[in-house]
Amino acid sequence: MARFEEIEIVRWEKGDTSRIRDEVVVESSLDLIVNNRNLVTLFCSPENQRALSVGYLRSEGLIEGMEVVSEVNYDPEEKLVEVKVVADGIDLETYFKKKRALTSSCGGAKSIIGKLRDLELEKTETGFFPETSQLIELMKEIQKRAKLFRRTGGSHTAALAGPEGIDYLAEDIGRHNAVDKVIGQSVMDNRDPEELILLTSGRLSLEMALKAIRSSISTVVSRSAPTTLAVRMGRTAGLAIVGFVRGGRLSVYSGEGRLEGLNRD
């Protein structure tokens, strides 16, 4: 399915009006069915749907890896992915209960973070500790490879990178979907998350921080800004959060110990 379509629009510029053809990003729906139960409907770009589905399950904490997944079937006509998970590999009832609790406004941010303390990343001296200069170059590379954004201006980009550079890259109309797509592909490839860092073009919200933590990714980097809840969660769980990676500079909000090249005097 096409990632963008040409449609006729009216453009006004400096007092002049014209009819032109413009490229608009395609938005599609995807039903994620897990063990014959409709888990969620995602609104997304119509590609990498299997990876999106697996990534969603991983970043929501529903699966640890492909060892509990027996099938991932995509039906492009019905716009759905059916995932089969072994009987003791997933607890849907607990998931729905947690989802309702976390989307409730009761208790505020302190209550939400308190409920999520069990997600603390394992403190380790292993894994990928990127250089600050490397983060600058990786973000430049992501921008170069964001073809859908350059054509339409309507997509977000996410990538997973290791010591040798970018290993996975995806674009989607939703920043969360783009992140789930790269996480999902890495899970399907059985990659070690400690050897990868997550980079994104979008805002780093609490939900984005949680996706990284649940996926055992220790560093999240963005061209954009983090939110206060994301920073608080990062400092609670040991997640490195780096924002505003642009123009030869960056800002470290948490986890500076996971970065090389910082002058800490």
pLDDT tens, position by position, 7-59: 898 888 888 889 989 999 999 999 999 999 899 999 999 999 999 999 999 99
26: tokens are 């395609």
Q: Which of 2, 71, 106, 190 is flagged as catalytic? A: 106
Whether residue 44 lies in the annotated active site: no
- Which CATH number describes the domain made up of 132-258? 3.40.140.10
To the nearest 10 degrees (0 to 180), the angle between helices 206-214 and 175-188 is 0
* Residue of 258, 265, 242, 104 whose CA lies nearest to 195: 258
176: tokens are 């969360």
CA 42-237-201 angle, to 5 degrees, is 45
Mean pLDDT over residues 176-190, rounded? 97
Residue with tokens 């490229």: 23
Q: What is the pTM of this model?
A: 0.88
Residue with tokens 């206060």: 228
Mean pLDDT over residues 100-115, rounded? 48
Return the number of other C-beta atoms located less than 10 Å from residue 195's C-beta.
Answer: 17
219: tokens are 């560093």
Of residues 99 and 21, more confidently modeled: 21
Q: Are strands 80-85 and 156-162 parallel, antiparallel or unpaired?
A: unpaired
CA 187-165-48 angle, to 5 degrees, is 40
Q: Where are the domains of the chain?
A: 132-258
Kindly report, residue by residue over 212-264, the tens digit of the pLDDT: 999 999 999 999 999 999 999 999 888 999 999 998 899 999 999 899 888 75
What phi-psi label fits residue 32: left (phi over 0), alpha (psi between -120 and 50 degrees) or beta? beta
Cα distance between residue 123 and residue 209, in whole Å: 17
Quote the pLDDT of residue 90.
76
pLDDT exceeds cutoff 90 at 93: no
Quote the pLDDT of residue 106.
40
Cα distance between residue 54 and residue 116, in whole Å: 22
Return the number of other C-beta atoms located less than 10 Å from residue 14's C-beta.
Answer: 4
pLDDT band at 130 (very low <50, low <70, confident <90, very high): very high
- Calculate the alpha carbon distances from 181 to 88, 209, 264 in Å: 25, 16, 35
